[in-house]
Amino acid sequence: MRDRGYSFFAELKRRNVYKVAVAYAVVAWLLVQVATQVFPFFEIPNWAVRLVVLVSIAGFPVALVFSWAFEITPEGIVRETDVEPGKSITHHTGKKVVAITIVLAIVASGLLAFRLFGPKLVVPRHDASPARTELATAIPEKSIAVLPFDSLSEDKSNAYFAEGVQDEILTRLAKVADLKVISRTSTQHLKSVPDDLPQIAKQLGVAHVLEGSVQKANDQIRVNVQLINALTDTHLWAETFDRKLTDIFAVESEIAKTITDTLQAKLSGSEQHAIAARPTENTEAHQLYLKGRFFWNKRTANDLKKSIEYFEQAIAADPNYALAYAGIADAYVWLPGYTAGTPRDCYPKAKAAATKALQLDDTLAEAHTTLALAIWLYDFDASEAIKEFQRAIELNPNYAIAHQQYGNNTLSALGRFDDAIAEGKRAVELDPLSLVINTDMGSDYYYARRYDEAIAQLHKTLEMDPGFYIAHLVLGQILDAKGAGDAAIVECEKARALNDDPSVLGVLARALGLSGNRMEAEKILEQLKKLSKERYVSAYSFALVYLGLGDKEEALRWLEQSYQDRAGSDIGFIRVDPLLDPLRSEPRFEALAEKIVPTAEFKSVTASK
């Protein structure tokens, strides 16, 4: 038996079966590499590459059988059994196979080195038009948007979970400074599998997208993801994860790490730690937190209040859950803007929750951002607010809200308009389809008295959604400041028809009063007085009405009340708000402005002109 086995392997060697196997493997690998590199250039479909792989695999046993059964002779290919023993030239053929294999191996090594270390080529698909080529070069290669994940759960109430997984993967990626990551606001209205990925890439300014789906049943989850080059519609990586619910953080971390590796993004030690973080060990707390974020993202007064309930339940399940405290802070800091709470009541709660979150985890960019807002809007402490904003951006360079609020609130209020506009542009780049961020970009121009640019920005925003009332309101303010009173009234009326926000009435009444329509302005004043008994109405709105009516004393009294109310989102802009210009020569106004933005901290408006 031993001799028989030895004889068989010796015969394999004599017939060059081993050498043919090695040579075939090298040739097959080269063919696959050439197919993957060259086929896209000629717009050959992806199925052709897969066909090359399958044919190469299928041909391997055929090549081995051929090398065993046949021999290449000077007369041609003949059956091995037909070759006389003394005339076999397998030894010489084997040397040629070895030589060819060595040459091919050198070529393969060179190709591998080129792929690993050579320049990366983005091949346009469908056409080679200058516009598409320009798009490929203008968009950074290390950029990605995480599209909405499909919820495949039979229980439709689990939709929050799919949204939460998408959001958490995005958050992990956003902490990598070497990546450009688009905020969820710009992707939430897109399909999970868009029809035209190159167009989506252009719209969002990214080279890659992540598509996915989530299925949850009791304590079992299935997460499907696929990373796609959006410019070429080429699939780069796909995976299915079937895990226990307790493993969800590990799944999210693995997905984020694979994406950073695929896009060749550089990771610092702290970024690696952030990607692998487990915010809580309590699955119940985590699900409650995801429900809270689900409602917080809806951004209505009732949904913000509902989100607080879920965040509080999450904390009850895990008292050390930092993200849940950050969620409470985020909800409270926005409630006054939706007239669902007073600044004096909400901002301290936001500040306390953000502080608690940072005591538990000081790497949360969201908590630093909200703490910065609360410090500025309530305490009017610009230097501390700036420190917190800068720390948030350091921790998460892709956090669009941090750039937006840093620029639109603090920097604009201090008269640092060029810096504010730069932050606003960065926020738009990271969240290009956000209506709020685009509107605030217009506000940045407005406070800088660059009215034409502000108007153009607001028109751009309204092209995205003509029904966004805040954009109509801000456009009305800009037109009023520019002296186009009639046009301002038209925009404010549009905003009024779209939403019952009392702040719209204040701006409208000012424009009406200054245009000579005093009776309508007085009607709005009475309406605001009545509304103030039912919901929060800012003192600033009353001040604007009295300015429209020409009563400076009463306008000043209401601005002083705004300061007492700690309504920083209104009175914080006292140094730069064009609608308050009629009061700038009043000593009482200057004294009030000094309390909010001291002259020593304020950069003159004229410096940016």
The secondary structure of 267-282 as a DSSP string is: --HHHHHHHT--S-S-
The residues, any chain, with a CB within 8 Å of residue 463's CB and separated by 6 or more, are: none
Domain of 154: which CATH number?
3.40.50.10070
Evaluate whether residue 69 is within a structural domain. Answer: yes
Q: Are 45 and 103 found together in one domain?
A: yes
Mean pLDDT confidence for 382-387: 96
pLDDT class for 28, splitting at 50, 70, 90?
A: confident
Pairing of β 76-79 and β 70-73: antiparallel
Domain total in the chain:
3
Who has greater pLDDT, 601 or 38? 601
Q: Do 405 and 424 meet the contact criterion of CB atoms below 8 Å apart?
A: no
Are residues 536 and 474 both part of a single domain? yes
Query: Tell me, what's the pLDDT at 56?
Result: 76
Half-sphere exposure at residue 146, Cβ-oriented, CA atoms within 13 angstroms: 28
Write the pLDDT tens digit of every residue in 427-440: 999 999 999 999 99
CA 27, CA 15: separation in Å to the nearest integer? 19
Angle between helices 365-374 and 382-395 (to 10 degrees): 170
| Distance, first Cα to last Cα, the chain | 97
Spatial distance between the Cα atoms of 577 and 584, rounded to a whole number of angstroms: 10
Distance CA(419)–CA(410), nearest Å, equals: 10
According to the model, what pLDDT value does residue 34 have?
67
Checking if the pLDDT of 309 tops 70, the result is yes
Q: Is 62 in the same domain as 166? A: no
Same domain as 107, residue 142? no
Confidence of residue 136 (pLDDT cuts 50, 70, 90): very low
Is 326 within the bounds of a domain?
A: no
Residue 36 lies in a domain: yes
- pLDDT band (50, 70, 90) for residue 80: low
Strand blocks (E) in 402-442:
none
Closest C-alpha among 491, 522, 517, 516 to residue 504: 491
- Three-state DSSP state, 127: coil
546, HSE (Cβ side, Cα atoms, 13 Å): 16
Chain length of the chain: 609
Return all residues near 123 (Cβ < 8 A) that are at least 6 apart: 40, 41, 232
d(CA 356, CA 535): 29
Mean pLDDT (the chain, rounded): 84
| In contact, 484 and 476? CB cutoff 8 Å | no
pLDDT at 504: 96
CATH number of the domain that residue 603 is part of: 1.25.40.10
Q: Are residues 189 and 214 in the same domain?
A: yes
568 shares a domain with 471: yes
Query: Is residue 215 domain-resident?
Result: yes
pLDDT of residue 61: 82
438 assigned to some structural domain = no
Three-state DSSP class for residue 9 = helix
Backbone angles phi, psi at 134, to 5 degrees: -60, -40
pLDDT in tens, 483-498: 999 999 999 999 999 9
- CA proximity to 447, closest of 485, 483, 481, 493: 481
Statement to judge: residues 111 and 152 lie in one domain: no
Domain termination site, one of 241, 262, 278: 278
When pLDDT is cut at 50, 70 and 90, the band that residue 189 belongs to is confident
More confident residue, 399 or 44: 399
Q: For residue 380, is it within any domain?
A: no
pTM higher than 0.85, yes or no?
no
Write down the residue that tokens 């994940």 correspond to. Answer: 149
Residue 591 has pLDDT above 90, yes or no: yes
Q: Are residues 465 and 547 in the same domain?
A: yes
CA dist., res. 186 & res. 205, Å (int): 11
Where is average pLDDT lowest: 110-114, 209-213, 315-319? Answer: 110-114
The three-class DSSP label of residue 376 is helix
pLDDT at residue 608 greater than cutoff 70: no
Q: Three-state SS for 222?
A: strand
Q: What is the pLDDT of residue 436?
A: 92
What's the pLDDT at 125?
37
Determine the Cα angle at 200 with ends 196 and 206, to 5°: 135
What is the rounded CA–CA span in Å between residue 204 and residue 317?
38
pLDDT value, residue 447: 97
How large is the average pLDDT for residues 560-571? 96
Token pair 């603090």 is found at 410
Does one domain contain both 476 and 602?
Answer: yes
Would you say residue 76 has pLDDT above 70? no
Please, which pLDDT band fits residue 604 given cuts at 50, 70 and 90? very low
Question: Do 58 and 166 lie in a common domain?
Answer: no
Collapsed DSSP state (helix, strand, coil) of residue 295: helix
pLDDT for 140: 85
Q: Which of 152-161, 336-345, 483-492, 506-515 has the lowest mean pLDDT?
A: 152-161
Domain with 67 in it: 2-117
In 3-state terms the chain splits into helix, strand, coil percentages (rounded to 5) of 70, 10, 25
pLDDT at residue 509 tops 90 = yes
Residue 103 has pLDDT above 70, yes or no: no
Q: What is the CA radius of gyration of the chain?
A: 33
* Residue that is last in its domain, among 94, 117, 140: 117
- Mean pLDDT score, 503-531: 96
* pLDDT at res. 79: 62
CA 570 to chain CA centroid, nearest Å: 28
Task: Give, as one character, the DSSP assignment of residue 375.
Answer: I
Instruction: Report residue 375's pLDDT band, with 50, 70 and 90 as the boundaries.
Output: very high
Q: Are 504 and 492 in contact (CB under 8 A)?
A: yes
Strands (E), 230-307: 234-244
Buried b (16+ CB within 10 A) or exposed e, 206-235: bbbbbbbbbbbeeeebbbbbbbbbbbbbbe
Task: Report which residue type is found at 393.
Answer: I
- Does residue 542 surpass a pLDDT of 80? yes
DSSP 604: P
> How much is the average pLDDT of 417-421?
97
Residue 552 in this model has a pLDDT that exceeds 60: yes
pLDDT band at residue 78 under the 50/70/90 scheme: low
pLDDT at residue number 43 = 47
pLDDT for res 536: 92
Q: How many C-beta neighbours within 10 Å does residue 605 have?
A: 15
pLDDT band at 406 (very low <50, low <70, confident <90, very high): very high
Chain mean position to CA 172: 10
- Indicate the residue among 92, 117, 142 that finishes a domain: 117
The pLDDT score that the predictor gives to residue 185 is: 83
Question: 272: how many CB neighbours lie within 10 A of its CB?
Answer: 15
Report yes or no: 181 and 365 within 8 Å, Cβ to Cβ. Answer: no
Q: Which residues contact 249 (CB under 8 A, 6 or more apart)?
A: 277, 278, 279
Q: In terms of pLDDT, which residue wins out, 286 or 108?
A: 286
User: 428 lies in a domain?
Assistant: no
Check if the beta carbon of residue 510 is closer than 8 Å to that of residue 580: no
pLDDT(135) > 50: no
Are 608 and 489 members of one domain? yes
- pLDDT, residue 574, reads 97
Say if residue 507 is in the same domain as residue 549.
yes
* 293 within a domain of the structure (yes/no): no
- Evaluate if residue 114 carries a pLDDT over 90: no
- Which segment of 5-14, 84-93, 459-468 scores lowest on mean pLDDT? 84-93
